Structure 1
Amino acid sequence: MNRVYPRCKTCGLEVAKLDIKDNAGILVGVAWLHSSAKQPDHDVEPVFTQRAPKCDFCSQPEALWGYLVTGENAPKRQWYSSDHFDTPWAACTTCSGLIEAGKWGALVQRCARLIQELHRVPVPTDARAALYKHHQDFKNRMVGDRLPVTD
Structure 2
Amino acid sequence: MEDIGFMCARCGGEVHDVTHNREGSLDGVGYRHNRRVEPWDHELELAVGEPAPQDPDCDFCGAPEPSWLYYPTLDPDDTDMFEVELDTTHLSDDDTAVAVLNMLYPWYACDTCSVLVADRNIDKLIDRALERTPVAEDGPVDETTVRARLRGSLSVFFTTRPGRPQPSRAV
TM category (shorter chain) comes to: 0.5 to 0.7
Contact preservation (8 Å) 1:15, 1:33: yes
For 2:137 and 2:83, locate their aligned partners in 1 and report how far apart those are by CA, in whole Å: 27
Query: Is the deviation greater in 28-37 or in 88-97?
Result: 28-37
The answer to whether the aligner puts 1:45 opposite 2:49 as a matched pair is yes
Partner of 2:78: none
Q: 1:92 aligns with which of 101, 106, 110?
A: 110
Q: Which protein has the bigger strand share? A: 1
Gaps of 5+ in 2: 75-81, 87-94
Q: CA RMSD for the aligned pairs? A: 3.9
Gaps of 5+ in 1: 1-5
For 2:83 and 2:14, locate their aligned partners in 1 and report how far apart those are by CA, in whole Å: 20
- Count residues in correspondence: 141
Identity over aligned residues, as a percent? 20
Distance 1:133 1:31, change over 3 A: closer
For 1:57 and 1:133, locate their aligned partners in 2 and report how far apart those are by CA, in whole Å: 13
- Which consecutive segments of 4 or more residues in structure 1 shift more than 6 A? 9-12, 27-30, 72-75
* Structure 1 position 130, deviation (Å): 3.7
Partner of 2:126: 108
Question: Considering only CA atoms, is the larger Rg found in Structure 1 or Structure 2?
Answer: 2
For 1:62 and 1:110, locate their aligned partners in 2 and report how far apart those are by CA, in whole Å: 16
Distance 1:22 1:140, change over 3 A: closer
Partner of 2:16: 17
AA aligned opposite 1:97: V
For 2:144 and 2:28, locate their aligned partners in 1 and report how far apart those are by CA, in whole Å: 34
For 1:137 and 1:40, locate their aligned partners in 2 and report how far apart those are by CA, in whole Å: 23
For 1:110 and 1:124, locate their aligned partners in 2 and report how far apart those are by CA, in whole Å: 13
The answer to whether the aligner puts 1:131 opposite 2:130 as a matched pair is no
- TM-score (norm: length of structure 1): 0.64
* Structure 1 position 83, deviation (Å): 3.9
Deviations 1:58-101 (A, max 9, x none): 222111210012347989xxxx5324332211112221121123
Q: Tell me: higher relative CO, structure 1 or 2? Use CA pairs within 8 A at least 6 residues apart.
A: 2
Distance 1:30 1:108, change over 3 A: closer
Q: 1:58 aligns with which of 58, 61, 80?
A: 61
Distance 1:7 1:115, change over 3 A: farther
* Structure 1 position 15, deviation (Å): 2.2
